[in-house]
């Protein structure tokens, strides 16, 4: 039995050195060391041995098993290293090959314009305020002193969700929310999307972008409004840009004005951009109506303020000479890559 065990060890070691694949070594392990392997089969005859022979044969069997197990383990590690090296050779990268070109996106022209306007006003000490796009009728109309029969309140002009909720038609409700939640002094701009019931064409879109501004404090005057907007247009369109205020009527400001600037292309001489007039209308403004202050819990006898609002899409179209607002929303990369 001892000779049989030694022969098994010799044959096993020869076969282990002979094979170079993991599955072949695993088969050898089962062949020699498995439950039905050769060593197990021989040890089944231990019961026929005398009491003196059993420990001797048992010792030899353990030594043979240990040597075969070690040889198999060493061989498996050797094969793993070989397979790893072969895999590394197969996966070698050619660092001289050109890499894939990564396309870097650009900011949308509306976002560019929005960021530029915000940068100018925050540099003047304004804070950016935001509000929901779904608004209450009170915040969008009533608190802003808009009468019940105002044309903007008609269903043909505004997207109503129900009788109390709508898609905001302007960012003015952000001003209302700010005045109701904060005490003066207030100095904010309110950028965001707005919605009106317009048929899409070259100059109209049912969705557009606004930036409105609000200042409320003691002794705020029209002179401060004109000075603020004059400084703004000079930074946006150039130092030589002039402003012109024309009387207008807005329910939430009194007095009210529309603000024109000298054409930044022809410098006021007249061209196709300004339609030969030398001036371009860019925003509406005025002193906050006392009723609006009252609706927000602010005493108009103690505080006054001014407000202004501009269409970001319109300013972007003027500055970048875009002739159709629909181009801003069509996601055509041939158009957008120009900016």
Residues comprising the binding site? 254
* Same-domain status, 155 and 282: yes
Tokens 């960012």 belong to residue: 171
- The band of 117, judged by pLDDT with boundaries at 50, 70 and 90, is very high
* Same-domain status, 172 and 250: yes
* Same-domain status, 131 and 76: no
3-state secondary structure the chain: CHHHHHHHHHHHHHHHHHCCCHHHHHHHHHHHHCCCCHHHHHHHHHHHCCCCHHHHHHHHHHHHHHHHHHHHHHHHHHHHHHHHHHHHHHCCCCCCCCCCCCCCCCCCHHHHHHHHHHHHHHHCCCEECCCCCEEEHHHHCHHHCCCCCCHHHCCCCCCECCCCEEECCCCHHHHHHHHHHCCCCEEEEEEEEEECCCCCCCCCCCEEEEEEEEEEECCCCHHHHHHHHHHHHHHHHCCCCCEEEEEEEECCEEEEEEEEEECCCCCCCCCCCCCCCCEEEEEEEEEECHHHHHHCCCCCCCCEEEEEEEEHHHHHHHHHCCCCHHHHHCCCHHHHCCC
Domain presence at residue 98: no
Which structural domain, as residue segments, surrounds residue 86? Answer: 2-90
pLDDT of residue 188: 97
* Same-domain status, 215 and 294: yes
* Same-domain status, 134 and 193: yes
Average pLDDT rounded to a whole number, residues 296-324 = 93
* Same-domain status, 216 and 292: yes
Residue 303: pLDDT above 80?
yes
- Asked if 254 and 292 count as a contact pair (C-beta separation under 8 A), the reply is no
* Same-domain status, 126 and 206: yes
Average pLDDT rounded to a whole number, residues 1-17 = 77
- The band of 336, judged by pLDDT with boundaries at 50, 70 and 90, is confident
Domain presence at residue 194: yes
* Strand 127-128 relative to strand 186-195, pairing: parallel
* Same-domain status, 122 and 54: no
Domain presence at residue 101: no
Torsion of CA 296, 256, 233, 293, to 10 degrees: -10
Residues 207-246: tens digit of each pLDDT: 999 999 999 999 999 999 999 999 999 999 889 899 999 9
Domain presence at residue 128: yes
Domain end point (choices 26, 60, 90) = 90
Is the pTM higher than 0.75? The answer reads no
Domain end point (choices 62, 90, 118) = 90
* Same-domain status, 121 and 44: no
Residues 51-65: tens digit of each pLDDT: 777 777 778 777 878
pLDDT of residue 283: 94
Q: In sequence order, what are the beta bridge partners of 186?
A: 216
The CATH number of the domain where 311 resides is what?
Answer: 3.30.930.10
Residue 48: pLDDT above 80?
no
Tell me the two tokens of residue 110.
């509306």
Domain presence at residue 264: yes
* Same-domain status, 189 and 327: yes
* Same-domain status, 283 and 318: yes
Domain count, the chain: 2
Residues comprising the binding site for Mg(2+)? 254
């Amino acid at each position: 039995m001892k000779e049989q065990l030694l022969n098994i060890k010799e044959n096993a070691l020869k076969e282990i050195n002979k094979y170079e694949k993991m599955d072949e070594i695993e088969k050898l392990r089962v062949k020699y060391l498995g439950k039905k392997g050769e060593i197990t089969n021989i040890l089944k005859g231990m019961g026929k041995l005398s009491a003196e022979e059993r420990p001797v044969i048992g010792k030899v069997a353990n030594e043979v098993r240990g040597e075969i197990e070690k040889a198999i383990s060493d061989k498996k590690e050797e094969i793993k290293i070989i397979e790893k090296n072969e895999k590394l050779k197969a996966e070698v990268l050619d660092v001289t090959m050109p890499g894939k070109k990564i396309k870097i996106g650009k900011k949308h022209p509306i976002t560019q314009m929005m960021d530029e306007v915000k940068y100018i006003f925050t540099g003047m000490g304004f804070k950016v305020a935001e509000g929901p796009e779904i608004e209450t009728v009170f915040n969008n109309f009533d608190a802003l002193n808009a009468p019940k029969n105002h044309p903007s309140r008609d269903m043909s002009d505004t997207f109503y969700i129900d009788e109390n909720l709508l898609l905001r038609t302007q960012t003015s409700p952000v001003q209302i929310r700010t005045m109701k939640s904060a005490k003066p002094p207030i100095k904010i701009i309110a950028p965001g999307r707005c919605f009106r019931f317009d048929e899409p064409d070259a100059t109209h879109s049912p969705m557009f972008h606004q930036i409105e501004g609000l200042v409320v404090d003691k002794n705020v005057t029209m002179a401060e409004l004109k000075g603020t907007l004059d400084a703004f247009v000079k930074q946006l369109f150039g130092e030589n840009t002039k402003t012109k205020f024309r009387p207008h009527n807005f329910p939430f400001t009194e007095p009210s004005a529309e603000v024109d600037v000298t054409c930044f292309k022809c410098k006021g001489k007249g061209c196709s951009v300004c339609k030969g007039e030398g001036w371009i209308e860019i925003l509406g403004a005025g002193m906050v109506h006392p009723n609006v202050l009252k609706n927000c819990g602010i005493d108009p006898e103690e505080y006054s303020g001014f407000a202004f609002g501009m269409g970001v899409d319109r300013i972007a179209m003027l500055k970048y000479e875009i002739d159709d607002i629909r181009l801003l929303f069509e996601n055509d990369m041939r158009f957008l890559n120009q900016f």
